[in-house]
Chains A and B, each alone.
Chain A
Amino acid sequence: MDLSYTPEQIEFRREVRAWIESAMPAHLKSKARGAGHYEHAEVMEWHKILYAKGWIAPHWPKEVGGPGWNIAQRHIFGEELVRANAPQLSPFGLGMVGPLLIQYGTDEQKKRFLPKILSGEEVWCQGYSEPNAGSDLASLQLRAEKDGDDYVLNGQKTWTTNAQYAHWIFVLARTDASGKKQEGITFILADVRNTPGITVKPFLTTGGTDAFSETWFQNARVPQSNRVGPENGGWTMAKALLGHERTLIGGIAESRRWLNLCKRIAAGTPVGRGRLIEDAAFRRRIARLEMRLRSLEMVQLRALAAAQLGRAPGPESSILKIVGTELEQEITELVMDALGHDALGWLDTPPEALPEIERGVASQFNYLRAATIYGGSNEIQRNIIAKQILRLPTA
């Protein structure tokens, strides 16, 4: 058991920090100082900068474009990105379908898709939930029927985050309705923009932005070579991928950014003759949440270290999802409290009425109510722990 950094790792951190400082464009840095809600175009701008450097996919094997870092380097890199408030990259390609293709894809699929995930030329989204298949994902109904060399897709996906920007979507489709519902599902990749019959309509969220969409499939033809894994074997893919997803959506990095922002806002907020950050009761509230975040970071670090030893993310990643998202919400609630009357502000409040650093806080506070819902609601995560880890009996 050892936590210390070697001189090489300390030098690596210095190198990463210096590079981020020089590589991050001024307009992104200025956004990083506030609530830092990055537009899609800004996220992709940063994606391309990381790609050019060769640092876009720290967790991918070197043979397929990863930098060949060990767990400590990846951790240091992640910490430095958070420290700089750099834009969070979209997880659907790099974090989800990419690793899945590396594990289960054919050589042709890897050749076709992985390079463009890395370069950011192709943006991905996830077609899992349907209007009638939310927490009960396996009851999904979008049909894929074989016709010649193609699958013909019919049905509707919803909560497809980033679909409005995406080139490709990975879809869970029903290929067999006769047996157990988990056993008739197939994992299929579809070209969102060039497939006739696919239409995307974004939702306006309570955060005032259009984070996710509804996506319709009407006789949309997709070649069968776009299937990942065996036909009717999609549920295994889905579960493997959800494990990856849950390690990513704990929001630990975002929570760290929110805490930093909270302290910056509190340092600039007058209370009586002093500042909010000097208030012992408020500091204690920040401290409580920061300490809990620290404990969670350690859980994550242990999970990452286990992954480094070749163990797949197991159901314990559900903890990161549950505790991480609930903590993230609590932290945004604290930032809202720090705002006082400025909590009334919105995205279009003029700068005279709302300090720039506070803009976007209310939007994110609202949007992040989704954090305990997406990626498998926290109640579903608790079911998974009860069933898969604690082996409690089913009703």
Chain B
Amino acid sequence: MNFDLSEEQQILVDTVANYVKNDSPVERFRKLRESERGWEPEAWARMGEMGWLGIPFPEEHGGFGARFVDLALVLEQLGRGLVPEPMIPSVVLAGGLLSRLGSDAQRDQFLTPMIEGRSSLALAYAERQSRYCLHDCQTTAKRSGAGWTLSGEKTWVLNGHAADHLVVLARTSGAVDAAEGLSLFVVDGNAAGVDRVRAPGMDGQRSALVRLRDAAVGADRLLGPEGGALPHLEWAIDRGAAAACAEGQGAIQELFERTVAYLKQRVQFGVPIGSFQALQHKAADMYAETELCKSSMLLAAIQADAEDAETRQAEISTAKLQLTKGGWFVQANAIQLFGGIGVTDEQDEGLFFKRLRVLQALFGDADHHADRFQQLSRFTSES
């Protein structure tokens, strides 16, 4: 048992931290949030060159052959600079599914260019009525000739506005919320019948509402087993949740440190406000929650690769709950301690606050994860 970073991990963390410091401070994101795409293909290509987009994929898939926790360490650093390139949708979600389920041809066609930073991906799974239920899916895929036609509407598709290819969840059989009968398809972003409504979000990042109207794909676009997508989707969304915790950790850490620095610098009543015990105790509690977030995030990231689904789910739900409750404590009090300027747009703290709130809503909120946790078989066995 060892929680220290290996030499390779330390080098990776330092490299990403330097990138954020020198090439992607928050000001870069500030400019990009005004842009159409919200992120830069040049930056994406550079991340590909540096190998970050291939971290969790096996070497035979063109990846780095590292573990999820290594990707989490990268995301944590990127979170400190609010780096907007689509790591979670492209690498963790769609990339993860392509690596896990794709045929050699599918990986060559869709995964390899993404790893090299030449294209980006998205996963379209959520729908208006589905909330966090992954198998509540009204989008259908019907056989049509040798291929399929897809119809339905997907909401909040992260990077859906810009992705070259979308991995789309659709029902190939069964009732609307049946666990069986779900399949995944790879759909070109510009295909006929795919209508993408760009949806700017609270955090200044972009999603899309994706409407599929008899969008036709060939038989070679079915990703993984027909009708058996659910366990794979659950796996991918779990890793999305772990990734949200990792990126969120960077934002929490940044907010916390900025708040402590401000408490030392801001003077009222002739003294730094950090000398007031009421504020010191708030800061101490923020420190505790930040450490709880960090610890649970690391455990979740390590177990994201676990063979056993219950182990993975238990730790990821634990971390997501902590991000959503403990992280909230940090972000809410950060704004409070900054006072009025904390709610101005010119101050960066509000940007971290908003990004965190988005990460908290993604991949299951606190109640969702508490409920999933209590349904694990280990919950009622003695621990």
Contacts and interface: CB of A to CB of B under 8 A. Distances in A.
Which 9 pairs between the two chains have the least Cβ-Cβ distance?
A386-B280, A298-B295, A382-B284, A385-B284, A295-B296, A287-B374, A392-B274, A283-B374, A287-B370
B383 A260 contact: yes
Contact of A382 (B275, B281, B291): B281
B373 A1 contact: no
Given A295-B292, A390-B260, A319 B287 contact: yes
Contacts, number: 150
B207 to A, nearest CB: 28
A379 B374 CA distance: 33
Contact of B367 (A2, A284, A309): A284
A75 to B, nearest CB: 7
Contacts of B296: 294-295, 298
B1 interface: yes
A256 interface: yes
B288 A291 contact: no
Interface string B12-41: 000000000000000000000000000000
Interface string A323-344: 1000000000000000000000
Given A287-B371, A295-B318, A392-B275, A383 B280 contact: yes
Interface string A46-86: 00000000000000000000000001100100000001000
A394 B271 CA distance: 10
A267 B382 CA distance: 12
A1 B277 contact: no
18 contacts: A1-B4, A1-B298, A1-B302, A3-B299, A267-B380, A286-B374, A287-B373, A288-B366, A288-B370, A291-B317, A291-B370, A305-B1, A306-B3, A382-B284, A386-B274, A386-B283, A395-B276, A395-B277
A298 B298 contact: yes
A290 B382 CA distance: 12
Given A256-B383, A385-B288, 13 more contacts: A1-B69, A3-B299, A75-B1, A83-B383, A284-B374, A294-B314, A295-B322, A299-B295, A305-B1, A382-B281, A382-B285, A390-B283, A393-B272
Interface in A274-326: 277, 280, 283-284, 286-288, 290-292, 294-296, 298-299, 301-302, 305-306, 309, 316, 318-319, 322-323
Contacts of A391: 264
Nearest to B295: A298
Q: Name which of B281, B285, B288 has the most chain A CB atoms within 10 A of its CB.
A: B288
Contact of B382 (A83, A319, A323, A382): A83
A3 B275 contact: no
A386 B379 contact: no
Interface residues of A, number: 50
A256 to B, nearest CB: 7
A263 interface: yes
Contacts of B1: 2-3, 71-72, 75, 301, 305
A389 interface: yes
A386 B281 contact: yes
Contact of A386 (B284, B292, B374, B383): B284
Q: Is the interface of B mostly helix, strand, loop or mixed?
A: helix
Interface residues of B, number: 52
B274 A260 contact: no
A301 B370 CA distance: 23
Contact of B3 (A292, A305, A393): A305
Contacts of A394: 275
A305 B2 contact: yes
Interface string B322-356: 10001000000000000000000000000000000
Contacts of B271: 393, 395
B236 interface: no
Contact of A395 (B275, B299, B319): B275
Nearest to B286: A390
Interface in B166-213: none
B361 interface: no
A290 B276 contact: no
A294 B318 contact: yes
B6 interface: yes
A386 B6 CA distance: 31
Given A295-B322, A296-B292, A389 B287 contact: yes
B9 to A, nearest CB: 7
Given A302-B295, A383-B277, A392-B263, A2 B2 contact: yes
